[in-house]
Amino acid sequence: MHKNLTYRINNYPENLNKTDVDNEIARAFAVWSNYTDLKFAVGSGKVDIDISFHRGDHGSNCKPFRGTLDMTAHAFFPASLLTGDAHFDLSQNWTIRNDSGLDLFQTAVHEFGHSLGLDHSNFQTAAMWPVVRRYSPNYQLDNDDITGIQKIYGTKTEGTKNSTKDQDASHREGILFSVTTESLPPVSNKTMSETNKIHVS
């Protein structure tokens, strides 16, 4: 399976510094490469993952953004029409390493999980849980995320982060991952009343 992937950021939120966005996107990809042999590099021309920010309708194959918290971003599975691409709602208040809006890094980690073939997780501690928490300085992958990504791409063959932590059998059975032809990851029908959580695709 192809493990050397390229990406491009096509545009940027008006309220954030371009270099800061570049760094947060690279940091989000690194979260997944920490546990696999995946390598990510900025590319030009045809790339594996196109990243862009949009308002409202933005293509016939995309669900429109409404500037609300029920859909802040979405990404496409590897085998879909817009293979691997990730879209973020430009109307959201994107922030970097603070709790005044939606943290770009944490949302990007989740969306890039979809770009790499992961579905939503059943576990609230997972990055792939369909509700992302407000900014956390200790944000990291859960065992469920790690097991899922390694199921697709294998374990890391160099470096130190090459295996999951111990977890019970019921946790392992709850892993959700798929490489599918669906154009968008499934939208969760769960509702969350907690004010410190927001819904993502």
The SS3 of residue 129 is coil
Rounded (5°) CA angle 52-55-56: 125
Domain residue ranges in the chain: 4-153
> Model pTM?
0.77
b/e map of 9-42 (b: 16 or more CB within 10 Å)?
Answer: beebbeeeeeeebeebbbebbebbbbbbbbebee
Other C-beta atoms closer than 10 Å to the C-beta of 95 total 19
Q: Does residue 171 have a pLDDT over 60?
A: no
More confident of the two residues 3 and 197: 3
Mean pLDDT value of segment 23-50: 95
Q: List C-alpha distances in Å: 175 to 62, 104, 122.
A: 26, 25, 7
More confident of the two residues 132 and 51: 51
- List active site positions: 111
10-19, 69-78, 179-188: least confident range: 179-188
Q: Does residue 52 have a pLDDT over 70?
A: yes
Q: Give yes or no for a contact between 140 and 110, defined as CB atoms under 8 angstroms apart.
A: no
User: Which tokens sit at 36?
Assistant: 């696999």
Question: CATH topology for 4-153?
Answer: Collagenase (Catalytic Domain) (3.40.390)
Mean pLDDT value of segment 92-106: 93
Q: Give yes or no for a contact between 130 and 199, defined as CB atoms under 8 angstroms apart.
A: yes
Q: Does residue 173 have a pLDDT over 70?
A: no
So what's the pLDDT on residue 159? 64
Residue 160 CA, chain-centre distance (Å), reads 23
The SS3 of residue 173 is helix
